[in-house]
Amino acid sequence: MRDPVAAIDCGTNTIKLLVGDPANEPDEVRRESRMIRLGQGVDATGRLAPEALERAWAALDEYAALIRAAGVGADRIRFCATSATRDASNAAEFTAGVRARLGIDPEVLSGEDEARLAFDGAVRGLAAVAVEVREPALVVDIGGGSTELILGDPASGPSAEHSMDIGSVRLHERHVRHDPITPDEIAAVVADVDAALDACPIDPAVARSVVLVAGTNTTLAAGTLGLAAYDRALIHGRTLAAVDLRAQAGRLLAMSVAERRGLGWVHPGRADVIDAGALIVDRVLDRLAVATVTVAETDILDGIAWSLVR
């Protein structure tokens, strides 16, 4: 085994850790994920909330202990922050807190860098389970604060990428005031999503294969597969009909937050904002020319890890 690496992906809703050698998963890799909602209120205030930072520090204290126990050197750690910290005016406070706990500075990724890492992580992860991805391939990464569309060739990497400021947390906080979401609120979210897709230079219809990554997509996949509980091994690499995923999105929209939390495959920390996330999925799928999509459990976190072992 090569020296272990530690990759951290800090998004708007979750902070995830991968420790080990990504070439030897699952035997030599540990994964952790915490719902910290770092992007709480950022769309409205432009700042990271004090309580969100406290949740981040608690998760990072845990991760720092795991990284030390694995014997990972500081030169083998990469911490990448995405949408919430790109938008926050007090990002320097966040940087100082990360440095104090991990001994490194976080990288605040551009939307384009985020897209490239997500494409690499998704494609490598599917190749590991012998799932063919045809070119041009479209990777759709739906996060809490932003959504990335990445078009490329699995053999040579992305040829075009675009990051849009539409995400499950951002749009839920912007538009949703009722539980369950109302038709008027659905229309408001859809209007934002459609406007972003209309302005996007990447047309989803050009893709011959489509790969869905990140928590909103994989959660919808778990429901579509009829799983009793979320199981990444049963989700990764599965091909699903777009029409079935869209139907599952509609079922989630009709539920209250409490009803969603009662589903064994929905993480409690995602249950409130997955209404907006499901609508993003639905509108992207509506623009595809292919009837099926593939779901990948490997994403930007894996791309970050692979960047450390090249």
Mean pLDDT of 236-240: 98
CA-to-CA separations, 174 to 70, 168, 265, in angstroms, rounded: 41, 10, 26
Mean pLDDT of 77-99: 89
Specify the CATH superfamily of domain 5-109: ATPase, nucleotide binding domain (3.30.420.40)
Q: Would you place residue 84 in the very low, low, confident or very high pLDDT band (cuts 50, 70, 90)? A: confident
At residue 1, the pLDDT reads 57
Whether the per-residue pLDDT at 59 is higher than 70: the answer is yes
List the single range of 79-83, 220-224, 262-266 with lowest mean pLDDT.
79-83
43/7: higher pLDDT? 7
Nearest 5°: the CA angle 223, 224, 225 is 90
pTM: 0.93
Q: Would you place residue 272 in the very low, low, confident or very high pLDDT band (cuts 50, 70, 90)? A: very high
5-109 matches 112-300 in fold: yes
Q: Render pLDDT for 128-182 as a digit per residue (tens, 0 to 9).
A: 999 999 999 999 999 999 999 999 999 999 999 999 999 999 999 999 999 999 9
Residue-range domain boundaries for the chain: 5-109, 112-300
The answer to whether the CB of 154 falls within 8 A of the CB of 146 is: no
At residue 152, the pLDDT reads 96
Mean pLDDT of the chain: 95
C-alpha 247/C-alpha 230 separation (Å) is 19
Question: CATH number of 112-300: 3.30.420.150, 2.40.40.20, 3.40.50.300, 1.10.10.60?
Answer: 3.30.420.150
